[in-house]
Structure 1
Amino acid sequence: MRAIDLFAGAGGFSTGARQAGCEVVWAANHWPAAVDIHAANHPETAHACQDLHQADWRNVPAHDILLASPACQGHSPARGKEKPHHDAQRSTAWAVVSAAEYHRPAAVVVENVPEFMNWALFPAWASAMGALGYALAPHVLDAADHGVPQHRRRMFLVLTRSKHPLQLELEPQAHVGAAEIIRFDLGKWSPVDKPGRSAKTLARVAAGRARFGHRFVMPYYGSGSGLTGRCLSRPLGTITTRARWAVVDGDRMRMLITDEERAAMGFPADYKLPANPREATHMLGNAVPPPMACRVIRAIREAA
C-alpha cells in the first residue's frame, strides 16, 4: 500500500504508516526544518516544502491512502483567545479535499484534535468529501490506550470510498507508565529549593511529595494534573510544543529531556530530531504518535 503524508511535520504519521507495512512515497510540509528532519528519517520518500494550498497534485505520486494532519491550533481549546491567524490555520484542511479530488485514493485518514468536528465549516468540509464518494467515520482515541506512555486524546477521521463508514475495532492496550521512559541518570538537574524558584512550583513539589513520595512528574508551566502532578506508574500528560513536564527526584528536579519526550511520543529511540531541544520539543508536540498511526492504518489495511 502506497501512502502520502500531508502536513507531515517530524514524521509520526509516516513512521506509523511504515510500521504498518506502507510505502510512504511523498510527504510535504511548509516548515523547512521539519522537512529536513522528515527527509533524514525517511530518505526513500520524495519531499516537498510548500504551502499545500499551492500544491500541484499532478506532481504527487499515485497512492492508496492519504494521511493528513492539518493545523490544529485553530481548533484546540488550548489556543487561548481567538486570533486572526487561526482562520488561515483552520483552512489548511481544504488541501485534503483538493488532494483527494485529484487522486481519489481508497482511504483518507485525517488526524486532529476532537474539536475539529466543532469547526463551523466542518459540515461543509465533510460534505465536500462526501461528494467525492467518501464515507466518514470519526474515531476519538487516547494515545495511552495504544502503547504510548502519555495521555493524548486525538481524533482520527477515517474516510473510505465505500457505501458505509468504516468503523475500526481497536481494543485498548495496557497503559505504559512514565517510569518506562524517565532516565534519572541523564539531564541537567538543579536543586528544588534553588533561589528564584517560584512559589507555585514549590507548592506543586510539596503536594507531589505528600502524595507520591520522592519521585514523580509534574507540570512545571501552566496547569494540568491538579496541583500534585502524577505518579510514575501512570502515563504522562500530553506532550505539547513547549517544554512543560518536570521530573522530581528527591531534592532535585529538571525538565524532560529530548530522549524522554521522543519516547513519550512513541518514536523509535534512533529517530533523528533537531539538536536544538526547543525545536525538537516543538516538532514532537505537533507530531502524531507512530504507534497510534500504525494501529489505525493496520486496521484499515486488514478491513480492506
Structure 2
Amino acid sequence: MKTTQLISLSKSEHRELINKLEDLASKENRSLSDTIMHLLGIGYSEYINRSIEDSIPYSVVSLFAGAGGLDTGLKMAGFNVIWANEIDKDACETYVANHPETYVERGDVRNVKSFPKADLVVGGYPCQGFSLAGNRLMTDERNYLYREFVRCLRQANPKFFIAENVKGLLTMAGGQIIEAMIQDFRNEGYIVNHHLVNAKDYGVPQDRERVLIIGVREDIDFKYEIPNPTHGDGLFGLKPYVTLKDAIGHLKPSEVGEIYDSTFSSRYLSRNRKRAWDEVSFTIQASGRHAPLHPSGEPMIKLGTDEWILPETSEHRRLSAVECALIQTFPADYIWKGSLGSIHKQIGNAVPCLLAKAVAKPMFDFLKQYYVQVERQERVG
C-alpha cells in the first residue's frame, strides 16, 4: 500500500516560510508550486518588498485590469500605468507579458491594503450582476465591488477617474444603482457624469455600447466632455465606420489562428450572428462559443421569432480569437496566455483599446498643460 510522503519541516523558520508562501499563493490566486517557481527566479524578499514610484505625471492605477485592453488604450493616449490589479490567473499572465513595466498586484482587490497615488484611476468593475443578459440580482456580491473602486479613490486621490460598465447598469433598479454609485463618487469629492457610448463611433469595428462614469476632482479646473464621435456613415465630416474587411480582411488562412469549434446551440441560433464584410461586427462576447460568425458565406435566414438557420449551401465558422482581438483593436502582436476559452473570455471582457484612447485623451491633454504650469511655478519659486 502506498502512502503520501509529507515533507518534514523540523525548523520553525521553515514552517513559517511555507505558511507565508501559502498565504501569498492564496492571495494571488495561484497554486503553491507556481508561486514557489516564480519566487525562485526573483527571491521572496525582493518580491514581497517590491516598490513603485507613485505621484508621478500621467500615472494610472488600474483596477479589474483584465488582459489590459483599457490600459493599452491609456498608453496609446500617453499615460503611464504604474500599478494594476487582476484576480484571473490567465489574464494576469497576459497582462504581464504585454506590460512588463507595470507593477501587477495579483489576487482579489479586497485583499489590497493600499493603493498608490496617481493622476488617474480606471477600472471596469465586474458587470455580470448588471448585464442585460444576466439575472441582475440585487444581492449579487459582484455588484458591490465598485466599493473597492471608491476605496481606491480615497487612497490614490486621483485627479480623474474612469469607470466602465455594461449598458444594463443604466436601467437596473430603475436607475437607482448607478445613481447610488455616482453619489458615492461625489461623496469622495468628485464632479461626476455618465455617458452611454458606442465603440464603433471611435474607430472600433464593432457595435459595442458601454456606460462610462467619468469623475473630475473638485479642485481641478477642468470640465470633462466626452469626445465627439470620429466615425459614422460618412456624413458631417466623420470618417466611415471601420468595417470587418478593414479589421480582419487582410488575414491569410495561416494567420487566423485557432477557431472555437463546436455545434451551434439553439440559443446561438435564436438571433442573427453574422455581419457582412462592409459592416461593423456584432459585440465581441466573453465566450468563444458565442463569438460572432465570420462574414464569409451566405447570411443567416430568419424563420421566425428567435429562430434563425444557417444555409447549408455554404460553410460557416465563428470568428477566431485572433480576429476577435483585432476587432477589439488590440495590437496585432499582443501576446495571449491561457486556453482558447480563456483567451476568448479575456478578449470579450476587455475595453476596446481605441475607445479607451479616445476617452482618456482630453485628460492627458489637460495634464500636459497642467504640468507645464507646475514646472513654471517651481522654476519661479
AA of the residue aligned to 1:249: G
Q: 1:147 aligned to 2:203? A: yes
Report which of the two has the higher share of strand.
1
- Which runs of 5 or more structure 1 residues have no equivalent in the other structure? 191-195, 201-219
- Identify the match of residue 276 of structure 1 among 329, 339, 342: 339
Q: In 1, Cα distance between the equivalents of 2:258 and 2:65?
A: 34
Correspondence for 2:241: 175
Q: In 2, Cα distance between the equivalents of 1:45 and 1:104?
A: 19
Preserved contact between residue 39 and residue 47 of structure 1 (Cα < 8 Å): yes
Q: Deviations over 1:162-184 (max 9, x none)?
A: 37852223233231111121436
Correspondence for 1:298: 361
AA of the residue aligned to 1:39: V
Preserved contact between residue 8 and residue 14 of structure 1 (Cα < 8 Å): yes
Structure 1 residue 121: Cα displacement: 3.5
Q: Which 4+ residue blocks in structure 1 deviate beyond 4 angstroms?
A: 186-190, 196-200
Q: In 2, Cα distance between the equivalents of 1:199 and 1:127?
A: 42
Q: Which secondary structure does the structure 1 equivalent of 2:125 belong to?
A: coil
Q: In 2, Cα distance between the equivalents of 1:290 and 1:280?
A: 16
Q: Which secondary structure does the structure 2 equivalent of 1:8 belong to?
A: coil
Q: 1:265 aligned to 2:328? A: yes
Q: In 2, Cα distance between the equivalents of 1:158 and 1:199?
A: 39
CA RMSD across the alignment:
2.6
Structure 1 residue 197: Cα displacement: 6.9
Q: In 2, Cα distance between the equivalents of 1:287 and 1:189?
A: 20
Q: In 2, Cα distance between the equivalents of 1:199 and 1:106?
A: 47
Preserved contact between residue 239 and residue 265 of structure 1 (Cα < 8 Å): yes
Map 1:1-304 → 2, pairs under 5 A = 1-57=58-114, 60-79=115-134, 81-82=135-136, 87-119=140-172, 120-162=176-218, 166-173=224-231, 174-180=240-246, 181-182=248-249, 183=251, 185-186=253-254, 221-225=268-272, 229-243=274-288, 244-247=291-294, 248-249=296-297, 251-274=314-337, 276-304=339-367
AA of the residue aligned to 1:107: F
Structure 1 residue 50: Cα displacement: 1.9
Q: Deviations over 1:225-258 (max 9, x none)?
A: 4xx7321100100000112212233732322111
Larger radius of gyration: 2
Preserved contact between residue 257 and residue 322 of structure 2 (Cα < 8 Å): no
AA of the residue aligned to 2:224: L
Preserved contact between residue 190 and residue 218 of structure 2 (Cα < 8 Å): yes
Structure 1 residue 31: Cα displacement: 1.1
Residues 1:36 and 1:50: Cα distance change in structure 2 (over 3 Å): same
Preserved contact between residue 189 and residue 252 of structure 1 (Cα < 8 Å): no
Q: In 1, Cα distance between the equivalents of 2:344 and 2:203?
A: 20
Structure 1 residue 117: Cα displacement: 3.5
Work out the percentage of aligned pairs sharing the same amino acid.
Answer: 26
Q: In 2, Cα distance between the equivalents of 1:3 and 1:198?
A: 41
Structure 1 window deviating more from structure 2 (177-186 vs 122-131): it is: 177-186
Preserved contact between residue 293 and residue 316 of structure 2 (Cα < 8 Å): yes
Q: Deviations over 1:190-216 (max 9, x none)?
A: 9xxxxx97797xxxxxxxxxxxxxxxx
Q: Which secondary structure does the structure 1 equivalent of 2:277 belong to?
A: coil
Q: In 2, Cα distance between the equivalents of 1:168 and 1:47?
A: 29
Preserved contact between residue 189 and residue 253 of structure 1 (Cα < 8 Å): no
Residues 1:289 and 1:198: Cα distance change in structure 2 (over 3 Å): closer
- Which runs of 5 or more structure 2 residues have no equivalent in the other structure? 1-57, 232-239, 299-313, 368-381
Correspondence for 1:204: none
Q: In 2, Cα distance between the equivalents of 1:197 and 1:98?
A: 44
Structure 1 residue 26: Cα displacement: 0.3
Q: In 2, Cα distance between the equivalents of 1:155 and 1:82?
A: 16
AA of the residue aligned to 1:69: G
The alignment's TM-score, normalised by the length of structure 2, stands at 0.66
Q: Deviations over 1:13-32 (max 9, x none)?
A: 11011111111000001112
Structure 1 residue 123: Cα displacement: 2.6
Q: In 2, Cα distance between the equivalents of 1:68 and 1:199?
A: 33
Residues 1:149 and 1:286: Cα distance change in structure 2 (over 3 Å): same
The aligned length equals: 274
Q: Deviations over 1:45-89 (max 9, x none)?
A: 0011122123212xx32210001110111111011x3558x6111
Q: Deviations over 1:252-291 (max 9, x none)?
A: 2322111101101000000011252211110001001010
Preserved contact between residue 137 and residue 167 of structure 1 (Cα < 8 Å): no
Q: In 1, Cα distance between the equivalents of 2:182 and 2:136?
A: 23
